[in-house]
Structures are given as C-alpha cells and as structure tokens.
Homo-oligomer: A and B are copies of this chain.
Amino acid sequence: MPTPTKITQKQVLTRAIAILDERGADALSMRELAKSLGVKAPSLYRYYPDKISLERAAVETGNRLLLEYVKAGCRRTEKSGMLLAAGHAYRKFAKAKPHLYSLMMEKRLILPPTSESGKALWEFVLALVRNVSGDTDGTACGVALWSFLHGFVSLEQAGRFGASGSRDGFTVGIEALAAGFAAANVHSK
C-alpha cells in the first residue's frame, strides 16, 4: 500500500458542512475543502464525482438535521402550542446553520422527489398541520406554514428587519396561522 487511505466519503461531507458553517458557501471550493482535509483537490473526485453531488449530499444531511430539530421542538408540547414550538425549532436550526439552510433552499439543489429526507420533512409538516386544523389534506396549510417560516428566517438572516428588529412578528404570524387553520376547517365541513 504505497498510498494509504487518508480520507473517507463521510469525512469529505462532514468537512464540507463545517466549512459551510464557518465561512459560508462562497468559501466552499474543492480546493479549499481538500486543503482543509490535508489532501489535494483531485483526490476528492474519488468520493464525489462532481461538486454538485457533494452539495446535494449536504442538503440531504441538512434536511435530516432540520427534521430532528423540529421533532425535538414538538416533543412534550401540547396541541395548542405545537405550531409555535415547531416554528421556534425551525428558526433555531436556521440560526445554527444559516449557510446550510440557504443551500437547502437553492433552486439548483432541489432533490428528486424520491429523496427520503425531503419527503420525511414534508410529511411531518403535513401531520403537524392536520393535527392542528383537523383537515384531512393539509397541503394548503402546510404550504402556508412553510412559506411563513421560510420567509421569516430568510429575511431575518438577510438583516432586512433592520435595527428595530422583528418585534413580535414571528409569534403574531404563527398564532394567526394556527387560528386560521382551525377556522378554515370549520368552513370546509
């Protein structure tokens, strides 16, 4: 064995996410990643055929981690506060991993519909809003909730709420949605 294995696929992925976390998406180049792993850039192509495959793997990991956050946030909270708890968990994830979160939402990195991580996340959201609203479908409510959460954390991350901050916009929004979901179900009966 003249050239013993220095790295594994898992290490490559973990290090990529670490760079993302520490220095952002612009800093994540194959050269930088290799240097950070103590190898040269061409070696990385033994583990991921191109950069976008690596990015997609990072997105999958992010999806799984986000689901963990949200599930943990919902545990041991009663139905009435469930949406708010889930929302806080979502926001917490985006704060902890801002660059990974942005990557997860990029258009060019949409995973195929077969992606387990994406489906699992969406199914959890649907179950959540069904539980709150009593609706049997939940698509519309899920879309509305996800839209609000994504919009809020995106604008917050971009610093668009200015010096005055978001005030209670987060709570106001979620409470309004929660009430609206329940009411909408009454009408649809």
Contacts and interface: CB of A to CB of B under 8 A. Distances in A.
B140 A110 contact: no
Contacts of A164: 139
Nearest to A151: B151
Interface in A124-155: 137, 139-144, 146-152, 154-155
A100 B175 CA distance: 32
Identical chains in the assembly:
2
A81 interface: no
A64 to B, nearest CB: 17
A32 to B, nearest CB: 20
A53 B129 CA distance: 44
Interface stretch (A13-21, A38-46, A71-79, A178-186): A178-186
Contacts of A152: 143-144, 147, 151
A164 to B, nearest CB: 6
Interface range, A side: 35 or more
A157 B107 contact: yes
A177 B167 contact: no
Interface in A158-187: 158-164, 166-173, 175-177, 179-181, 183-184
Given A107-B159, A176-B179, 10 more contacts: A105-B158, A106-B158, A110-B160, A143-B155, A144-B152, A144-B172, A147-B170, A150-B151, A151-B152, A172-B180
